Structure 1
Amino acid sequence: MQNSAKIICFGELLLHFAPDSEGNWLNGQSLKIYIGGAEYNVAAALSQWKNSVKLLTALPENFLGNQLEFQLKNKGIEVIAEKTQGRMGTFYLSSDSDMQNASVIYDRFPSVFTGSDFEAFSDDELFSEVKWLHISTITPALSDNAFRKCLHIMKEAGTRNITVSLDLNYRALLWQNKNPHIIRELMPFVDVLMGNIWSAEQFLSIPVEYELNGNSDDENLLKQAEKTALEIRKQFPNVKKIANTFRFTHGEEVNYFATLYTDEHLLVSEQYNSGRIDERVGSGDAFMAALIHGILKGNPEKQILEDAAKVAFKKLFVKGDTIDDSINIEKL
């Protein structure tokens, strides 16, 4: 049965080209392509878990845009799309590379999303039956119009008693020649924040003060997570929950855990380890989706955190940008 509380996500729908890192795709003349984009990844997981979801985005007015819209509707996602002549944004990244390093190649300027003014739909249309708004810090980096739209709808959500979540996912390539501190302007309207201690430093100028050894068993990680959360709460008392994800990779080996600061306490998840990773994209988005799902269901805080950590870890073994049917949040 579908949850009637609608969630709206605002962000760019992307095509993810995933060439193998050895270059064999050139000989085979075949390339893996996934639908991606941080907010879409969150929306897709939430829809799979029977939540009612809208995606506010932009699509090209051509057969590609039509096919993508049809695909999203088949996944149970209501599409609210600005449609104009133009192209989809894309990025190139192999499955064994990471979105945060130099191996990602963005080709998203210009695109129908970065060129949109986002004025085609009224606030009443966007927020009809909506209980939750989700955005990531990727969206405001894409254009002045996208930033202004984020600020406007986050403010508007507050006046309508709609919960607002923000994912502080820092992408250095998207913030070149831009000031990431503009994210501070969005923070007074955020209820649920996800990120990590390093993204909080980049966006909010909250320093990592403890000396860290680069390993997942470093006790200073938890001290810093709490210190960062306390400073966020001090500067932005409206933020009620602050989640951090910690993923340490050494070659193919991965160590993963997460924290959730809520009700003035720092909760820490179980730690997960594996000798391999199949996919580095979308784990954080899966965590964010699980966080939203658990909060909307009214689950206990510890369960919300543990479910989100399990979902995010499981996503490391699912190819592509989004989760698949193998990840059922009700049967973890």
Structure 2
Amino acid sequence: MNVVTFGELMVRLQPYNYERFVQADHLEFTFGGGEANVAVSLANYGAHAIYVTKLPAHAIGQAAVNSLRRYGVDTTKIVRGGDRVGIYYNEKGASQRGSVCIYDRAHSAIQEATTADFDWDSIFEGVDWFHFTGITPALGPNVVDICREACKAAKAHGVKISCDLNYRGKLWTREEARAAMTDLCQYVDVCISNEEDAKDVFGIEAEATDIYAGEINREGYKSVAK
């Protein structure tokens, strides 16, 4: 199976072990991104995984590309250009202390990309499946446009489309997410969501369920799906 995933690949800076940011004097340097993680997983399962994004042509951008190549991900469709790779700082949680994620991704190459950067007709030749998440269009109205063009091209090529709603309140408002994802999901064959995303993005709540109080009614999820 040939699968295309599309999103942002970022530098991940994380203290060693379970140190807090204020304790750390060294940070571990790796790369991460929701759709990139999917591509790596698919490649590990034996699928032909093609990852699409835009990255600068400098050494950090190349290191990001290499981080995917080592797992067998096809990086030939990655567009090169722009000035920076987005960064996120991650502090791992421990016991009752939750994780902390701080974004520094403004003006990244993919955030400033345009629809002219991607030749989706070429990208989707011979492809079976296209996957993206709600994180990618959250980067800006221009990236919503890119996702829409990708979905239209995928449909024209008979490619199945999946989307993980994956709402990120640090990137956009619920109202912005609802407008964009309502539009994009008209093209989607498989929508992946949990009860929190369904509520945040579409205002759809599971019956007799309070996600914040931990009160779960399994039958209520049938109504969410409908």
Calculate the TM-score normalised by the size of structure 2.
Answer: 0.88
Correspondent of 1:31 among 2, 27, 32: 27
Q: How does 1:179-258 map to 2 (within 5 A)?
A: 179-181=176-178, 182-212=180-210, 214-215=213-214, 218=215, 220=217, 222-230=218-226
Q: In 2, distance between residues paired with 1:177 and 1:39?
A: 21
Greater strand content: 1
- 1:49 matched to 2:45? The reply is yes
Distance 2:175 2:128 in 1: 32
Identity, % of aligned pairs?
28
| CA displacement at 1:219 relative to structure 2 | 5.2
Which residue is equivalent to 1:158? 155
* Structure 1 residue 102: Cα displacement: 8.8
User: Given the superposition, is the C-alpha separation of residues 17 and 178 from structure 1 closer, same or farther in structure 2, using an over 3 Å criterion?
Assistant: farther
Aligned-residue offset at 1:116: 1.0
- Counterpart for residue 68 of structure 1: 64
The answer to whether the 8 Å contact 2:12/2:29 transfers is yes
Maintained 8 Å contact 2:114/2:143: yes
Q: How does 1:1-332 map to 2 (within 5 A)?
A: 5-19=1-15, 20-21=19-20, 23-26=22-25, 30-79=26-75, 80-96=77-93, 103-176=100-173, 179-181=176-178, 182-212=180-210, 214-215=213-214, 218=215, 220=217, 222-230=218-226
3-state SS of paired residue (1:173): coil
- Whether the aligned pair in 2 keeps the contact of 1:14 and 1:36 (CA below 8 Å) is yes
Query: In structure 1, the residue corresponding to 2:128 is in which secondary structure?
Result: strand
Contact 2:54 2:79 (8 Å CA) reproduced: yes
With 177-186 and 50-59 compared, the bigger mean Cα shift is at 177-186
Q: Distance in 2 between matches of 1:138 and 1:10?
A: 10
The count of residues paired between Structure 1 and Structure 2 equals: 217
Deviations 1:29-84 (A, max 9, x none): x2112211110011111111111011110111111112222232222111122212
1: distance between equivalents of 2:144 and 2:59? 28
Q: What SS class does the counterpart of residue 128 from structure 1 fall into?
A: coil
The TM-score normalised by the length of structure 1 is 0.61
Could you say what the CA RMSD is over the residues aligned between the two structures, in angstroms? 2.1
Q: Name the CA distance, whole Å, in 1 between partners of 2:174 and 2:204.
A: 21
Unaligned runs of 5+ in 1: 231-332
What are the superposed Cα offsets for residues 140-184 of structure 1, whole Å, 9 maximum, x if unpaired? 010222111111111221222211000011111111496111210
